[in-house]
Structure 1
Amino acid sequence: MSATSEESLSVSTLASSTTAIHPDPGSQNGDSTTQFGTISMRRLSRRLSLWRPKKRATVLAVIVATIGSFCLGNVLTWSSPVLPQEDFKKKFPDIGNGSWVASLALLGALFAAPVSGFLIAKIGRRRTMLFTAFPFSIGWFLIAFAPDLPVLYIGRFLTGFCGGAFTVSVPAYVAEVTEDRIRGTLAVAFILMLCIGILFTIVLGALVNWFVLSVVCGCIPIIFFFSMLCMPESPRYLVMIQKPTAARNALKWLRRASTKRYIEPEITKIESSVTAANGKTNGGSSVKDLLKIRVLKPIFISAALMFFAQLSGMNGVSLYTVEIFAEAGTQMNASVASIIILATQALTVLVVPFVLVEKLGRRSLLIISEVVMCISLTALGTYFYLKDKNGGNPPDDLEWLPLVSLVAITIGYNVGLGPIPWVLTAEILPNHVKELASSCISICYWTLSFVAGKTFKDIKDVIGYSGVYWLSSGICLIGALFVLFFVPETKGRSTDEIQKLFVTKKESAQAESSEQQTKPTGSPDGVDNPSFMSQSQGANVNAV
């Protein structure tokens, strides 16, 4: 599991990874932005010209792979249009409030995180995706033809497990088949296809019954399987398992190179990277390494951000969107309102990677996100409070408030709390423990996701919609204060600079003392001693 957990988390940034984090080479000098801060036309043109002949195969591989994230989007929101359907309630009269139907998929994804991390290391990224496809379809058909509730639950767990496996294998594959200069742009494809899958499920669920929706969703993994058969394995993985010829053939196909000579610089770079990574692990990290202060601090920050993201109320909104609108009692069709919200989500997903992260910084976006969600959740809770006080009738002249509030919640979440915790986690975790630490963070994320999805309706039954949204609003307020006082800004800082933020004064003093002892006598700065300069330069070359 630990061998690839770093990949699963850093790319689980899912698409929370940004173009700014993988800056476009050549964007300096001639491609600088204008004084108004707009993206230069040359950079924009390069980003929009992904379908050039040399990039088509890479883009095609990314599109095919991210059908997996589309399938995950189907799983996550299947319960939203299905639970309110009358024929579904008649088929399963003992379903209760439906919280288990909604949350079992999240529980399945929790168990998938360590298993898929192990599989992509042992059998490869491509094979893991292929082996996941047919169980995915089986899960959907179990749901569609379920004779009773236990079989339905098994189907939901299985589809959640397979969807969770895609969150590990797909981002790892995408990150490894793309070129450095377009990796940031194509990283958006994972979260974009996820949002499209969510939107597809809501729209189709508004037009057909739950049986047809389940069968259609079950056919998509089959399409994915046969499409993925035509794609190559990740060149980096082939280098890792010592298959250099296969790696060159795969990279040649991806880059549409006429000869292998064209891809030699890139394959050499991959081989050097794999060799360096193998040298740094030294057998892997241990639990003891996680207990050091400079490691515990970033782990605590990452886990806390996941906590605030999952308990912000967004899980309940995405799992029960249609039902929330039905309860709101407005004249607007609940399914139409849900489509508007999810379309907004798909659009805002594109804003963060291209513009905001490097313009405003991670910390600022998190605070803005928390504040926007706090205000919007308070407004939504107030609406339901007034509705209850009004005998269950919508408050006069406030029927617009649920839609506006939920759109604002969606925008606020996708601007900060959705993607930024993953970005920060990938940046602040120390490299020597990142594999083990990222595994812990991934498990923490899916555990919180399951708890939030499972308890949303149970808490609602106790304190009502108004209480649930006010509670989430309070959590967002606490989250904003946490970010303000504890989360550092990583914008524009190198990995070494970020790690220094978590070093204690004692460790810093010991490092300075050790550095002083290594300096040669009579040449404290290592400048006047030619031999010292030569050794220093050699060390720098080895480090690179």
Structure 2
Amino acid sequence: MHIVSKEVGANSAPSPYKFNLGYVWMISSIAALGGLLFGYDWVVIGGAKPFYEPYFDLTSEAQIGWANSCALLGCLIGSICSGVFSDGLGRKKLLIAAASLFGISSVATGWAHTFDTFILWRILGGVAIGIASNVSPTYIAEIAPAQWRGRLVTLNQLTVVVGILAAQIVNLVIAGNIADGATADMIRNSWQGQYGWRWMFCAVAIPSLTFFFCAFLVPESPRWLVKKGQTEKARAVLTRIGGADYAEAEIRDVDSALATERSEQGAWRDLFRPMVFGLVLIGIGLAVLQQWSGTNVIFNYAEEIYRGAGYDLSGVMFNIVITGAINLLFTLVATFTVDRLGRRALMLWGTVVITVIHGLLGIAFFLGIKGPLILGLTLAVIAAYATSLAPVTWVLLSEIFPNRIRGLAMSIAVSALWIACFAVTYTFPILNKLLGAAGTFWCYGAFCLLGVIFIALFVPETKGKTLEEIEASLTKQR
């Protein structure tokens, strides 16, 4: 499919190039399979939780928090590794490596028979998530035409929420109908308690194989190829995307951006140059805000939240699927608005709404209100998150860093994201016990309020600009 792009960015004229959008969407979709596996592997733990906890006899808040958050340690390791190797080995090889790790770790986690081996394989699965969460959006941003980059990078977040919903549906189907009031012993001795939760983890092996074989079909990032002096290979990729004139213009822009920095190759010392360090801090701030908005604990600790709201286990499992459906629906909304309304507007809107709803959730729990109101408020939080912080953070992280250090800077920001995710996931059971659900959600609301101020003061608008235009405008400001 070839079309002439007519979309206009904030500061751009209609594109004169004829883009092969069918090809661009195909390779972007393959890269985004990393997001699907990321979403599934990350959320499957929530549905398996009521069954593996009795199996492994987990009783303390520390054990429960560690089981739920240990994969995030692997996410941090994977993110660091992707930063070390992405700029050296390229994006494509790391996509293949992530697919391999997803497949191996999912099966091994499912058939772990001791808590220690379960933790070990969950951490390895987290390494795959860390690599995919870093490399997939970076790769898509580097191959996408400027007018389509926002929605194509958001495609990665869309596949993440498809993976989340898939995990929730698989969990619901495998869990079946659990008797209300079932004890830990009853659950432990059931089929679900012995084998069902294992298949929840193993199910991701099939899309992992698909990702593994399809990853060989995508080309290497043309911007990475230019950076490595492989200009002819880059020209071939860009020509297939937008024609010969587009290829020449893109190569010229990338060369111009790299001209004064070719000898440094994205060294660590380059991160501390004044014009770059500020961007790294913004990336870290966005990453931490996305996690400490508190929305992700609804996915990982849905059982505690909805049980606290008066639902039985079957009701909890059904509510989890509803949260996934809402997440998918509003991520689709973000896909079609991120290049029209802009990144900054969506981030501000979403963070304000999440702040208000967390305050209302705290009031509801404080007053002892249960049932549909709690479900409705959590769904509203997820809707706001899915149209703002969840997808747009990844878009901004893939855009704001200079080409020469993009892989390394992205790794630092994503590492900060996973550290923040580990902290919020590990501490939720502890905060919930110390402060109650009301106090916990008020804490998340206060952090979101700080996020509103941060976005208003420091986060730039990048809609409609090429990566080189973004780099030029942001580095001139610092």
TM-score, scaled relative to structure 1: 0.71
Q: For residue 349 of structure 1, what is the aligned residue in structure 2?
A: 331
Partner of 2:419: 447
Retained in 1: the 8 A contact 2:100–2:208?
Answer: yes
- Aligned with residue 170 of structure 2, among 182, 204, 207: 204
Deviations 1:496-518 (A, max 9, x none): 5555655xxxxxxxxxxxxxxxx
Q: Which of 370, 376, 384 is 2:365 aligned to?
A: 384
- Mapped partners of 1:214, 1:437: distance in 2: 32
2:64 matched to 1:92? no
Aligned mates of 2:337, 2:477 — CA distance in 1: 26
Matching residue of 1:169: 135
Larger radius of gyration: 1
1 CA distance for matches of 2:473 and 2:144?
Answer: 27
Q: Note closer, same or farther for the CA distance 1:425–1:161 as it changes in structure 2 (3 Å cut).
A: closer
Give the CA deviation at 1:246.
Answer: 4.8
Deviation at 1:279, TM superposition (A): 1.6
1:215 matched to 2:216 = no
Quote the offset at 1:369 in angstroms: 2.4
What is the match of residue 456 of structure 1? 428
CA distance in 1, matches of 2:334, 2:69: 28
Structure 1, 428-437 or 455-464: larger mean CA deviation:
428-437
From 383, 396, 401, give the equivalent of 2:373: 401
Identical residues among aligned pairs (%)? 25
Q: Is the 8 A contact 2:109 2:118 kept in 1?
A: yes
**Stretches of structure 2 lacking an aligned partner (at least 5 in a row):** 175-195
| Equivalent-residue separation in structure 2 for 1:68 and 1:78 (angstroms) | 15
Structure 1 residues 79 and 435, CA gap change in structure 2 (3 angstroms): closer
Aligned length: 440
Which residue in the other structure is 1:338 paired with? 320
Structure 1 residue 248, shift from structure 2 partner: 5.7
C-alpha distance 183-113 of structure 1, shift in aligned 2 (>3 A):
same
Contact 2:338 2:392 in 1 (8 A): no
Corresponding residue SS for 2:367: helix
Cα 1:68–1:416, aligned 2, differ >3 Å: closer, same or farther? Answer: closer
Structure 2 CA distance for partners of 1:300 and 1:93, relative to 1, 3 Å: same
Aligned mates of 2:274, 2:88 — CA distance in 1:
33
Q: How much has 1:249 moved relative to structure 2? A: 5.7
Structure-1 residue corresponding to 2:437: 465
5+ unaligned residues in a row in structure 1: which ranges? Answer: 1-23, 33-41, 44-49, 256-261, 388-394, 503-544
Report the 3-state secondary structure (helix = DSSP H, G, I; strand = E; otherwise coil) of the residue aligned with 1:101. helix
For 1:474 and 1:94, the matched residues in 2 are separated by: 32
- How much has 1:146 moved relative to structure 2? 0.5
Confirm or deny: 8 A CA contact 1:195 1:342 kept in the other structure: yes
Q: 1:313 to 1:122 in 2, by over 3 A?
A: same
Preserved contact between residue 291 and residue 424 of structure 2 (Cα < 8 Å): yes
Return the offset for 1:72.
0.3
Q: Classify 1:72/1:62 alpha carbon distance in 2 versus 1 (closer, same or farther; 3 Å).
A: same
Question: Distance between the aligned counterparts of 1:276 and 1:501, measured in 2?
Answer: 18
Which of 244, 249, 259 is 1:264 aligned to?
244
2:284 pairs with 1:303: yes
2:292 is matched by which residue type in structure 1?
Answer: L
What CA deviation, in whole Å up to 9, does each residue of 1:491-540 have, x standing for no partner? 779745555655xxxxxxxxxxxxxxxxxxxxxxxxxxxxxxxxxxxxxx
Letter in 2 for 1:344: I
Distance in 1 of aligned mates of 2:258 and 2:158: 33
The worse-fitting range, judged by mean Cα deviation, of 176-185 and 339-348 is 176-185
Q: 1:135 Cα deviation (Å)?
A: 2.4
Partners of 2:163 and 2:414 lie apart in 1 by 22
- What corresponds to 1:278 in structure 2? 258
Partner of 2:93: 127
Which residue number corresponds to residue 295 of structure 2?
314
TM-score by length of 2: 0.80
Kept in 2, the 8 Å contact 1:130–1:225? The answer is yes
Give 2:191's aligned residue: none
Q: Once superposed, what is the RMSD of the aligned Cα atoms?
A: 3.5
Give the C-alpha shift of residue 156 in structure 1.
0.8
